[in-house]
Amino acid sequence: MKKKFITIGNSWAMLFTKTMLEMLEVNPEEEQVEIEFDKKVLKMEKAEK
């Protein structure tokens, strides 16, 4: 899947579709994600409470 970045103020962001959030089993209004970098690979998973 390819995604483009968008600008928000002086920052860059990537929008996540509802399907992508469902695949991660994340409710963005109530939960957070853990982000990890492995060389040039971005890894993201649902954060433990």
Cα–Cα distance measured from residue 16 to residue 28, given in angstroms and rounded to the nearest whole number: 10
- Position 39 scores a pLDDT of 92
Contact 8, 14 (CB under 8 A): no
pLDDT for residue 19? 93
pLDDT of residue 3: 92
Rg of the chain in Å (alpha carbons): 12
Residue 35: the pLDDT is 95
Contact of 2 with 9, CB cutoff 8 Å: no
Q: State pLDDT tens for residues 1-49.
A: 899 999 999 999 999 999 999 999 999 999 999 999 999 999 999 998 7
Q: Is the dihedral of CA 38, 42, 45, 49 positive or negative?
A: positive
